[in-house]
Amino acid sequence: MKIAVIGTGSVGRTLAGTLETLGHQVTIGTRDIAATLARDTPDQLGTPPFALWHADRPEVGLATFAEAAADGELVVNATSGLASLEALSGAGAANLAGKVLVDVANPLDYSQGFPPGLDPVDSDSLGERIQRAFPEARVVKTLCTVNTKVMVDPARVGGGEHTIFLSGDDAEAKAVVGALLAAMGWRDIIDLGGIRTARGQEMLMRNWLNLLTTLGTADFNIKVVR
Ligand SMILES: NC(=O)c1ccc[n+]([C@@H]2O[C@H](COP(=O)([O-])OP(=O)(O)OC[C@H]3O[C@@H](n4cnc5c(N)ncnc54)[C@H](OP(=O)(O)O)[C@@H]3O)[C@@H](O)[C@H]2O)c1
């Protein structure tokens, strides 16, 4: 499948590299190709420059948000949560129409420092905002409840015996995303229901941050025991 990953950070890179390894034709989207390739220092979180990563993964394409989305049969939103609506506007509503749009972003608000808050929270979610802004896209929220490395390699913690969630209004779109998750090694996938349930996924970030501080590692996840 042709997949557009909108976002050049650690999440976009990790998902793009894994999806390419799984046999998909993947293009990463960025605002400004030249600016992205010209960066030569790590970002605030210490993520190395994009060009260094891309030199090792030249088979992953690099394009503008709009070019990547236009070419993709499925689109992944891996952009900064507070900028996701702007980034997806750059991708273009027409280029998202009818397509599965996998939203892995968390709307983290660092304006009050660390730990970040969420905006929106509780009575709305980023997943719902994206679905409202792009009504013809088939938004599926997932993977926002785990660290990047765990997203694509659940077996790295607890032998993979833990849980990932799906939220979305389109059952067929959730089936497509569920198959991608299974290919990445996820076995316990819980479909929470419509996109409104993205609120609960995003709000798990509060406890994820507590656990990060307490455990001193991002290599963990929760398991829903029935
Ligand atoms: N890190 C994790 O383990 C983890 C886990 C779960 C979920 N998430 C979520 O995954 C998403 C991606 O995280 P990340 O750390 O990889 O990347 P990030 O630094 O949060 O976002 C980088 C991307 O956002 C785009 N961007 C930033 N400001 C923008 C603006 N004003 N307009 C348009 N686009 C803008 C950048 O575009 P350019 O390419 O043009 O620079 C870049 O592609 C976030 O929402 C994060 O909360 C992260």
Which of 80, 142, 147, 208 is the pocket-test mutation for ligand 1 (most atoms within 8 Å of CB)?
80
Residue 123 burial (CB count, 10 A) = 7
| 69: its two tokens | 């989305």
Separation of CA 11 and ligand 1 centre (Å): 7
Instruction: Give the pairing of strands 117-118 and 108-109.
Output: antiparallel
**pLDDT attached to residue 135:** 98
CA distances from 164 to 67, 121, 134, 154 (A): 30, 20, 24, 9
| 130: its two tokens | 């994206």
3-state secondary structure 39-56: CCCCCCCCCCCHHHHHHH
**pLDDT attached to residue 44:** 84
Do residues 45 and 78 make contact, with C-beta atoms less than 8 angstroms apart? Answer: no
Q: Which of 167, 151, 155, 150 is nearest to 202 (CA)?
A: 167
pLDDT tens per residue, range 158-169: 999 999 999 999
Ligand 1, CB within 6 Å, residue ranges: 7-12, 30-32, 36, 78-81, 83, 86-87, 104-106, 108, 144, 147-148
Instruction: Give the pairing of strands 74-77 and 2-6.
Output: parallel
Residue nearest to atom 10 of ligand 1 (CA): 105
**pLDDT attached to residue 157:** 97
SS3 content of the chain, % helix, strand, coil (to 5): 45, 20, 35
Write down the pTM of the prediction. 0.98
Would you give per-residue pLDDT tens digits along the chain (226 residues)? 999 999 999 999 999 999 999 999 999 999 999 999 999 999 988 999 999 999 999 999 999 999 999 999 999 999 999 999 999 999 999 999 999 999 999 999 999 999 999 999 999 999 999 999 999 999 999 999 999 999 999 999 999 999 999 999 999 999 999 999 999 999 999 999 999 999 999 999 999 999 999 999 999 999 999 9
Strands in 74-77's sheet, in edge-to-edge order, are: 61-64, 25-30, 2-6, 74-77, 100-103, 138-142, 163-168, 188-193
pLDDT tens per residue, range 181-191: 999 999 999 99
Separation of CA 225 and ligand 1 centre (Å): 32
**pLDDT attached to residue 61:** 98
Residue nearest to atom 30 of ligand 1 (CA): 83
| 210: its two tokens | 């507590």
